[in-house]
Structure 1
Amino acid sequence: MTVDDLWFLADEATQRAEQAYHRLRERHSGYIQRTHTRRVTRERFRTLARRVKETGAPYGAQTVVHRDGDEILLVRHEGVDMWVLPGGELRDGETYREAAERELAEEAGVSADFRGLAMANRIDIACDDYATWGVLPVFAAAATELDLSVCDPDGEISAAEWFPVSNLPADTRDRDDILAWYDRAGP
């Protein structure tokens, strides 16, 4: 891929992200909007821009799942060595919510009552002089099944646990986003 092709890819990805974001806005309300910036290598930029061009989302979709009012489900992601919200990439033909439901079942073995969109985060992606962005939809859900079992086919998730919102692990990715959602909309 030449340098000019990378610029065109970034432009196409941006257009797809705008379409995806506007569709989310049309279908949901009351969600939190946050922006995160990721500076990445050229190869990673290419990968993420392709995902955004295809789906509007660089990382897929996630779910913030709660139980008993103040406990949140997190999964241990070995690739980033952090506790994260369950979620992942979309498969062909999946909606964001379908991907979030599938990933929740795979990564934690939990089913949940989905209650709408908790967050519509904007992920700005930059590399050298190239930039694009994508959405990261995070759905809110109440657990209907509390027993946890990790069956992650990718082998990235090593554990799933419930944590009180007041005592999230220090190495929780997007901790501030989770706390902002809980403080604003919570269960």
Structure 2
Amino acid sequence: MKDTQHLYEKTISSQTIYEGKVITLKVDEVLLPNGHTAKREIVTHQGAVAVMALTDEGKLVAVRQFRKPLEQVIVELPAGKLEPGEEPLACAKRELQEETGYQAKDYTLLSSFYTSPGFANEILHLYLATGLTKGESQPDEDEFVEVLELTLEEAHELHRLGEIRDAKTVAALFAWENRLLHGKK
């Protein structure tokens, strides 16, 4: 691996500004590689999972819900944050069942990626879930969702219309299309 030490920023001080249920906001003062200092606003997050659940008929299980930061309803993958000490696979199973009622026979980790590394440390684990069985959803008491089953074409149309705009779901659409191009359902 290439030596990257010359790119590192050393933390001089760190101040927690806000600590909530989902995020913590802190401001770090850092020493830059050129000797100057700068402030970095950082959101820390437990991490999260998203589930690309595909039915035996080749449809994507998605949810439609209101997102307050956007002030709009969007369509996205079932997803949620990791609880302290929770394994990503256990979280994926829990979130899929809670939000959609579906349970899956098989789970495959497709990718783990940082959602916005310029200001947050959130890592998201994207799972493929297959061999689905439909059941009753049990959303959190403050969660209101509508469950959808979408063909790839319908999902792309929702993306084109701006109803699918979050990174995890857009990434999943490309992963789904890539699987189909390579003969995988």
Superposition TM-score, scaled by structure 1 size? 0.63
Matched, 1:77 2:65: yes
Cα deviation, 1:67-104, whole Å, max 9, x if unaligned, reads 13531000112225211110101123210111111111
User: Is residue 54–residue 132 contact of structure 2 (8 Å, CA) maintained in 1?
Assistant: no
Return the structure number with greater strand share.
Answer: 2
Partner of 1:185: 179
Once residues 131 and 141 of structure 2 are traced to their aligned partners in structure 1, the CA distance between those partners, rounded to angstroms, is 23
Matched, 1:65 2:53: yes
User: Is residue 78–residue 156 contact of structure 1 (8 Å, CA) maintained in 2?
Assistant: no
Residue segments in structure 1 that go unaligned for 5+ positions in a row: 11-41
User: Is residue 51–residue 129 contact of structure 2 (8 Å, CA) maintained in 1?
Assistant: yes
Moved over 6 A (4+): none
Aligned positions of 1:34-53 closer than 5 A: 45=42, 48-49=43-44, 51=45
CA 1:62–1:176: 2 relative to 1, 3 Å: closer
**Shift in Å at residue 120 of structure 1?**
1.9
Partner of 1:164: 151
RCO higher in structure (CA 8 A, sep ≥6): 1
User: Is residue 110–residue 146 contact of structure 1 (8 Å, CA) maintained in 2?
Assistant: yes
Residue segments in structure 2 that go unaligned for 5+ positions in a row: 1-12, 16-25, 31-40
Cα deviation, 1:43-71, whole Å, max 9, x if unaligned, reads xx5xx41x2xxx4x2xx111100013531
Once residues 176 and 74 of structure 2 are traced to their aligned partners in structure 1, the CA distance between those partners, rounded to angstroms, is 20
User: Is residue 107–residue 130 contact of structure 2 (8 Å, CA) maintained in 1?
Assistant: yes
Partner of 2:14: 4
User: Is residue 74–residue 83 contact of structure 1 (8 Å, CA) maintained in 2?
Assistant: yes
CA 1:79–1:143: 2 relative to 1, 3 Å: farther
Aligned positions of 1:12-51 closer than 5 A: 45=42, 48-49=43-44, 51=45
Return the structure number with greater helix share.
Answer: 1
RMSD across aligned positions (CA): 2.6
Which stretch shifts more, 66-75 or 177-186?
Answer: 177-186
Once residues 9 and 153 of structure 1 are traced to their aligned partners in structure 2, the CA distance between those partners, rounded to angstroms, is 38
1:122 to 111, 114, 122: 114
Partner of 1:101: 93
Percent identity of paired positions between Structure 1 and Structure 2: 16
Superposition TM-score, scaled by structure 2 size? 0.64
CA 1:76–1:67: 2 relative to 1, 3 Å: same
1:145 to 120, 128, 133: 133
